[in-house]
Homo-oligomer: A and B are copies of this chain.
Amino acid sequence: MSLTSPMRDERTLVLQLRDAIISYIGEQELKPGDRLPTEAEFTQMFNISRPALREALKLLEQDGSIYVIHGKGRFVSAMATLAVERPITCFESVTDMVRRYGYKPTNKVLSISEETAAGQVQEALRLNADTRVIRLERLRMQGEEVLVYCLDFVPRSLIPDRLYDVDWGGSLFDVLESYGHRPVMSTATAASVMLPTDVSERNDLEDFGPAFLITETAYTQDGAPVVFAKDYHRGSSFTFSFVRK
């Protein structure tokens, strides 16, 4: 059993190993509680050194796929069989998320404006009291049906162009990336709420029903907050999955 197809160098050996072990568990149809090959067997199988193998195994231990008993061996854990395709903990844009549900959404910009950061927005984006932010209000539609009502805030300084020169109809993350502020992760909270009455009245959304609200602050790789968002997902159209451990 070799690791990479000849020409593929790709990533670091340890990550390849980790995936190879996952594949091995799948191919051998190992069930939770089953014993894994020993370190010695794995190193021979993949023809790699023990430290490299151990780093890969440690990764699997950390995410709970396997567990180890000193002096006995390593064993498949329940987690290994509980792969959720695309959990809520995966960072992605609303646009991509909606598409994944099989929708072909169109975006409708309700309003784009500039204002002074305050309260929740100011705090999340770590701004001074008098800092300007862009306020973007959009609807994600599937045909005539509103799927998500999105309210985004971005520090004005990140986008030095005129507001009307920017295409707000696509993914906000793409816009930010084009200005060198690509968000890569976020902290978020989820709650179940009704749409704010002013929003539902203005947009004829009285029948929107219970909304799945994700309040999210997105950060760049170097830790700078670049977006504060409140996304109201139509409850009857979205279900979010995840693993708890």
Copies of this chain present in the complex amount to 2
Q: Is the pair A211, B210 in contact by a Cβ cutoff of 8 Å?
A: yes
Give the bracket for the number of chain A residues in contact with chain B.
Answer: 35 or more
Q: Is the pair B244, A78 in contact by a Cβ cutoff of 8 Å?
A: no
The 8 Å CB contact of A242, one of B59, B188, B222, is B188
Q: Is the pair B210, A235 in contact by a Cβ cutoff of 8 Å?
A: yes
Known A-B contacts A78-B220, A78-B222, A223-B81; A89 and B193 likewise in contact (beta carbons under 8 Å): no
Q: Is the pair B89, A192 in contact by a Cβ cutoff of 8 Å?
A: no
Residues of B near A190 (CB, < 8 A) are 88, 190, 212, 239-242
A-B residue pairs in contact (CB < 8 Å), sample of 19: A14-B58, A33-B221, A51-B51, A51-B54, A62-B63, A67-B221, A78-B185, A78-B220, A91-B245, A187-B242, A192-B192, A192-B212, A192-B213, A192-B233, A193-B235, A194-B209, A194-B210, A210-B211, A242-B242
